[in-house]
A and B are shown apart, each in its own frame.
Chain A
């Protein structure tokens, strides 16, 4: 499993992003439709449609609430067969920063795990590097008009690495394994709205829902399928070191802290991959990962390098660099029940007091974009730009504080109100070299308007525990507040009762919006709901949202067959089966 600070730290590529379904600009409203909620829309492969995307602006198009079925089709792309011009052979080496603790899909949250797990497994549908939904083990799927059942038609003749044929029982086993509380699956919550899984025949799966669940297709139907005949016997513990999937590569050697190697699976249903082997080496030190790219000891770095190395490689013609935006917001969670921080005026004033662009330029070398609310602008289908803005304006910040009754009456440079000092403590992650300087700069900005922010440090597990218990004023890390799997649902973080509502933010309207958002089957209405969510976040400022970090994925030029574009960096590695080596 991941080092926790990295989980907190990490931006775009974390486990979440991999299932991102972001509407491509060209896909128009289809992106919304693909969430599988359009009544009776039959999602089928329509390659000729996909080949000619219509240039639709990113803003929601004025499509009727129930667009014709044809709109949905460009969203679904067929599994791309292995291209003809590639060369067979060779080994591609990528680097990760911490051990690959498990190869079970339930543990594949961290990017360094996922990059290997995705080579070994397939889902019925998967989300690609451009947030397109791709039919993989499913040939098509139907959604019932009421959103209460999904029917998946499965591909015939797909083999697992041990030669067994894949069928509907494997899907049923996988879903039921996650649904069974005895298995204590990490991702169990994604399956909570499923009532039962039926298998009318070998190649058909019908999933019955307890209630409509808008994020279902991209969040749960993308789950990697486990072989019933093997996983059913060995369980999670046995499977973690001995996975058997349908993916393009099968496990050769797993040495958790050192390296993991997979080798080509000759009978993969999309054809044998070009590469003979794909290896991830564990190299904890970021600068050494960069050196390995330079010496040719590695072909790509799964995990981030230092900002200066990223920018250097981006300029270098010997490397192919994908620069994408993360979904996790870099933010200061602040306890909304704190006597000082509970005052909305204080929170709004703090937003005006900080020059966020300067923080991005000075601390992060410009490799981030300013946040406008909880959702990343990378989520084009859901991002709402028309929200309350907080430009850098220290005078306005002071004015807001004065009006709210916060004045410096004793002349010590810190404002008070009713004898309470405008003071709080921000606890950053111990040894966090990226964000500690950020906190120090923000401390100065706040001081300039009469707010005293003390700094402390603690390990990550302590921070989350104390934040949840309401025993900590504030902290600073990156976290996803909606957008996981490309779905805007933020119930896990913004709902008043949510486990990860670190800021103890409580607004009945927000709860109502989030509940409606999950049940709403109409994408256009959902879009309106999540626009309001973002507006409410911008108005209430439940936490100080700073920025979304850029994510860099660097490849040496000898790796050919890479996608032209990518919106989700880590998703790129899904496509390793199409890559080849050309010296």
Chain B
């Protein structure tokens, strides 16, 4: 087991290195000049542009810049944002990352708490009104864009009813709408997945055996069916980690949350190399760890994997 973990960790480091190299070269080889973004519409001369280019070391070849970045990063220095003047990138991440993580964590908890019971019940009471109702809801949850749901909720709860703030963070009320929107989509995915996997397990021989030996239906469902049906759900949880940003960009934008998703898009847009690089790094680390944890949990839950 230890050997397995070490091997996976080493693989992870190689992946992280390759991803940072790819991000860096893509950002630098893509057309577009970050200095232009900095000066905006100010009236500048070529000398001014050159001075700023030199100041940020952008006149050096990209691989040289990459090596400088890599060396600093290894020493724990993510550099400074070109755009947010003089602010260390690590500080920007430190501010933005918890916001996004918290939002995702709450949304995921809500989604799990709702989706798993709904999925199981829908599977057990297949073709019932509850089944149809919840699955139509789940389909809508996947199909309706986050953006639209968010605006509709704001119009209803902030504008018409005036119960909740329209955006921003601070109090617990601020969490309700963004968490609801974010949870909706995940709920929909998880509910459908749980239902499908529960039905599959219910058709297996060992369930029939359990029933045949006279176990009460509740015990059959909870002890035998649900435990096994949750395996694919766990996989999805790890897999969802990599969507942590893409899922929240829209929500952070609509609800004015100062999170990592918004920062990432904004930084790509304005070619703030250091910030993009750091977020890409952070994300890669998250995904690598997420996948590793998923595998470990999987191994724990499913003895067949452990034995192999």
User: Does the CB pair A285–B256 fall under 8 Å?
Assistant: yes
User: Does the CB pair B37–A283 fall under 8 Å?
Assistant: no
Out of A1, A10, A466, name the residue touching B38 (CB < 8 Å): A1
Scan residues 73-129 of chain B and give those whose CB is less than 8 A from a CB of chain A: 80-81, 83-87, 95-96
User: Does the CB pair A5–B262 fall under 8 Å?
Assistant: no
User: Does the CB pair B45–A2 fall under 8 Å?
Assistant: no
Shortest beta-carbon distance from B103 to chain A in Å: 14
Residues of B within 8 A of A460 (CB): 32
B181 at the interface (CB under 8 A from A): no
Residues of B within 8 A of A258 (CB): 168-169, 256, 258
Scan residues 243-276 of chain B and give those whose CB is less than 8 A from a CB of chain A: 253-256, 258, 262-263, 266, 269-271
Known: A4-B269, A238-B86, A461-B31. A109 touches B42 (CB 8 A): yes
Residues of A within 8 A of B205 (CB): none
User: Does the CB pair B154–A184 fall under 8 Å?
Assistant: no
Q: Which residue of B lies closest to A256 (CB)?
A: B84
User: Does the CB pair B165–A297 fall under 8 Å?
Assistant: yes
User: Does the CB pair B31–A186 fall under 8 Å?
Assistant: no
User: Does the CB pair A187–B256 fall under 8 Å?
Assistant: no
Out of B37, B85, B169, name the residue touching A461 (CB < 8 Å): B37
Residues of B within 8 A of A104 (CB): 85
User: Does the CB pair B36–A240 fall under 8 Å?
Assistant: no
Shortest beta-carbon distance from A1 to chain B in Å: 4
Tell me, in angstroms, the Cα distance from A101 to B31 when the chains sit together: 24
Shortest beta-carbon distance from A418 to chain B in Å: 32
Tell me, in angstroms, the Cα distance from A33 to B115 when the chains sit together: 72
User: Does the CB pair A284–B84 fall under 8 Å?
Assistant: no
Shortest beta-carbon distance from A5 to chain B in Å: 7
A-B contact count (CB 8 A): 176
Interface string of B53-74 (1 = CB under 8 A from A): 0110000000000000000000
Known: A186-B52, A284-B256. A461 touches B34 (CB 8 A): yes
User: Does the CB pair A484–B43 fall under 8 Å?
Assistant: yes
Residues of A within 8 A of B30 (CB): 462
Interface string of B35-50 (1 = CB under 8 A from A): 0111111111111110
User: Does the CB pair B36–A464 fall under 8 Å?
Assistant: yes
Residues of A within 8 A of B48 (CB): 184-186, 188-189
Tell me, in angstroms, the Cα distance from A123 to B42 when the chains sit together: 18
A292 at the interface (CB under 8 A from B): yes
Residues of B within 8 A of A255 (CB): 95, 258
Tell me, in angstroms, the Cα distance from A440 to B190 when the chains sit together: 42
User: Does the CB pair B36–A465 fall under 8 Å?
Assistant: yes
Tell me, in angstroms, the Cα distance from A461 to B38 when the chains sit together: 11
Q: Which residue of B lies closest to A185 (CB)?
A: B48
Tell me, in angstroms, the Cα distance from A268 to B31 when the chains sit together: 47
User: Does the CB pair A186–B46 fall under 8 Å?
Assistant: no
Residues of A within 8 A of B290 (CB): none
User: Does the CB pair A102–B31 fall under 8 Å?
Assistant: no
Interface string of A1-43 (1 = CB under 8 A from B): 1111101101000111000000000000000000000000000
User: Does the CB pair B253–A284 fall under 8 Å?
Assistant: yes
Q: Chain B interface: which size bin?
A: 35 or more
Out of A1, A297, A328, name the residue touching B166 (CB < 8 Å): A297
Shortest beta-carbon distance from B81 to chain A in Å: 8
Scan residues 166-196 of chain A and give those whose CB is less than 8 A from a CB of chain B: 181-182, 184-190, 192
Known: A257-B96, A465-B33. A283 touches B167 (CB 8 A): yes
Residues of A within 8 A of B85 (CB): 101-102, 104, 107, 236-237, 240-241
Q: Which residue of B lies closest to A107 (CB)?
A: B85
Shortest beta-carbon distance from B155 to chain A in Å: 7
Known: A1-B38, A238-B86, A240-B86. A291 touches B166 (CB 8 A): yes
B162 at the interface (CB under 8 A from A): yes
B158 at the interface (CB under 8 A from A): yes
Q: Chain A interface: which size bin?
A: 35 or more
B151 at the interface (CB under 8 A from A): yes
Q: Which residue of B lies closest to A2 (CB)?
A: B40
Tell me, in angstroms, the Cα distance from A461 to B34 when the chains sit together: 7
A110 at the interface (CB under 8 A from B): yes
Interface string of A357-378 (1 = CB under 8 A from B): 0000000000000000000000
User: Does the CB pair B43–A189 fall under 8 Å?
Assistant: yes
Known: A98-B266, A284-B256. A291 touches B32 (CB 8 A): no
User: Does the CB pair A287–B32 fall under 8 Å?
Assistant: no
Interface string of A276-296 (1 = CB under 8 A from B): 000001111101100110110
Q: Which residue of A lies closest to B81 (CB)?
A: A101
Tell me, in angstroms, the Cα distance from A15 to B51 when the chains sit together: 21
User: Does the CB pair B42–A15 fall under 8 Å?
Assistant: yes
Out of B46, B54, B84, name the residue touching A499 (CB < 8 Å): B46
Shortest beta-carbon distance from B33 to chain A in Å: 5
User: Does the CB pair A466–B42 fall under 8 Å?
Assistant: no
Tell me, in angstroms, the Cα distance from A109 to B83 when the chains sit together: 13
Tell me, in angstroms, the Cα distance from A459 to B263 when the chains sit together: 17
User: Does the CB pair A281–B168 fall under 8 Å?
Assistant: yes
Shortest beta-carbon distance from B261 to chain A in Å: 11
User: Does the CB pair B47–A181 fall under 8 Å?
Assistant: yes
B9 at the interface (CB under 8 A from A): no
Scan residues 449-491 of chain A and give those whose CB is less than 8 A from a CB of chain B: 458-462, 464-466, 479-480, 484
Residues of A within 8 A of B49 (CB): 499
User: Does the CB pair A15–B41 fall under 8 Å?
Assistant: yes
Residues of B within 8 A of A16 (CB): 41
B13 at the interface (CB under 8 A from A): no
Tell me, in angstroms, the Cα distance from A10 to B41 when the chains sit together: 10
Out of B32, B43, B151, B253, name the residue touching A492 (CB < 8 Å): B43
Shortest beta-carbon distance from A551 to chain B in Å: 15
B144 at the interface (CB under 8 A from A): no
User: Does the CB pair B43–A3 fall under 8 Å?
Assistant: no
Interface string of B156-168 (1 = CB under 8 A from A): 0011001001111
Residues of A within 8 A of B40 (CB): 1-2, 4, 7, 14-15, 109-110, 186
Tell me, in angstroms, the Cα distance from A37 to B49 when the chains sit together: 30
User: Does the CB pair B41–A184 fall under 8 Å?
Assistant: no
User: Does the CB pair B44–A99 fall under 8 Å?
Assistant: no
Tell me, in angstroms, the Cα distance from A296 to B95 when the chains sit together: 28
Q: Which residue of A lies closest to B46 (CB)?
A: A499
Residues of B within 8 A of A187 (CB): 42
Q: Which residue of A lies closest to B253 (CB)?
A: A284
Q: Which residue of B lies closest to A109 (CB)?
A: B40
Interface string of B129-173 (1 = CB under 8 A from A): 000000000000000000000010011001100100111110000
Shortest beta-carbon distance from B226 to chain A in Å: 40
Q: Which residue of A lies closest to B252 (CB)?
A: A284
User: Does the CB pair B262–A257 fall under 8 Å?
Assistant: yes
Residues of B within 8 A of A499 (CB): 44-46, 49
Can you name 6 A-B residue pairings with CB atoms under 8 Å?
A240-B84, A284-B253, A294-B159, A464-B36, A465-B33, A479-B41
New A-B contacts (6) at CB < 8 Å, excluding given A257-B258, A297-B158, A461-B33: A1-B40, A2-B40, A5-B269, A236-B86, A283-B167, A461-B32
